[in-house]
Chain A
Amino acid sequence: KAGVTQTPRYLIKTRGQQVTLSCSPISGHRSVSWYQQTPGQGLQFLFEYFSETQRNKGNFPGRFSGRQFSNSRSEMNVSTLELGDSALYLCASSLEPYKLRTNYGYTFGSGTRLTVV
């Protein structure tokens, strides 16, 4: 069974550009969450999608957005990139967000390393 797949693995962008990251969840998983990991702030929740709807959102500016498709694949977009957006972006999938008891929590992908120069 394939795990959570994130593409690309590495990305270098220039300040002011925008970027789109992709996440394919485990087959059958319908919930996708995104986290940002930086040395300064640690792991921070960005948002969660379930059935193509954003169910939960963290404290990030509107430059950070996402969406989920009917096949549960998700993309996140960051517009007008800033140097501080350099981070490892992790995607996690689960069966559903409201059944932690039965879905063994969240399975994480290997992440996309974004460097903004």
Chain B
Amino acid sequence: AQSVTQPDIHITVSEGASLELRCNYSYGATPYLFWYVQSPGQGLQLLLKYFSGDTLVQGIKGFEAEFKRSQSSFNLRKPSVHWSDAAEYFCAVGAGRGSTLGRLYFGRGTQLTVWP
């Protein structure tokens, strides 16, 4: 069965520092991978996605993520964090086949706090 693990529940960084949020997935075939961000009281906004091809994916708001098949990871990175990046971040894997096609499996999320 598909699953996603985000090992870090809460991360605190200073504004201007670099950021890496970890995501590990479990899926038997080539996964579709996503990162979403959620601000308090809001829905989920798509930051970036990976379907195939180049393993380094660029997203919105200066975020990027790298797919590493050998490590079953899809870590999110940003070189310089802004105070407005404070939010909760969710990694998700989408099933590419079978009865669960189209369904997203989410990690438990990583809460990002940014110090001024």
Q: Is A16 an interface residue (CB 8 A)?
A: no
Main secondary structure of the interface of A (DSSP, over half): strand
Q: Which residues of A contact B36 (CB under 8 A)?
A: 108
Closest chain-B Cβ to A87's Cβ sits at a distance in Å of: 13
Whether A109 pairs with B99 at a CB distance below 8 angstroms is no
Count of chain B residues near A, Cβ 8 A: 27
- Please, which residues of chain A bring their CB within 8 A of the CB of B99? 56
Is A31 within 8 A of B43, CB to CB? Answer: no
Given contacts A105-B34, A105-B49, contact A42 B103 (CB under 8 A): no
Distance to closest chain A CB from B32 (angstroms): 5
Provide the bound-state CA to CA distance between A116 and B58, in Å. 41
B101 sits at the interface (CB 8 A): yes
Q: Is the CB of B44 within 8 A of A33?
A: no
The answer, yes or no, to whether B115 is at the interface (CB within 8 Å) is: no
Q: Complex formed: what's the CA distance from A97 to B44 in Å?
A: 18
A59 to B107 CA separation, bound complex (whole angstroms): 17
A107 at interface by CB-CB < 8 Å:
yes
A33 to chain B, nearest CB (A): 7
Contact call B90/A43, Cβ cutoff below 8 A: yes
Residue of A nearest to B46 (CB): A105
Does A55 sit at the interface, judged by CB under 8 A?
Answer: yes
Q: Is the CB of A33 within 8 A of B106?
A: no
A86 contacts the other chain (CB 8 A) = no
Contacts of A105 in B (CB 8 A): 32, 34, 46, 49, 94
* Residue positions of A touching B, CB distance < 8 A: 4, 6, 31, 33, 35, 42-43, 45, 48, 55-56, 58, 90, 92, 94, 97-98, 100-101, 104-111, 113
List residues of B whose CB falls within 8 A of some A CB: 32, 34, 36, 41-46, 49, 51-52, 90, 92, 94, 96, 99-109
A–B complex contacts, Cβ < 8 Å, 12 sampled: A35-B104, A43-B109, A45-B104, A90-B44, A92-B44, A94-B102, A97-B102, A98-B101, A98-B102, A100-B94, A105-B34, A106-B104
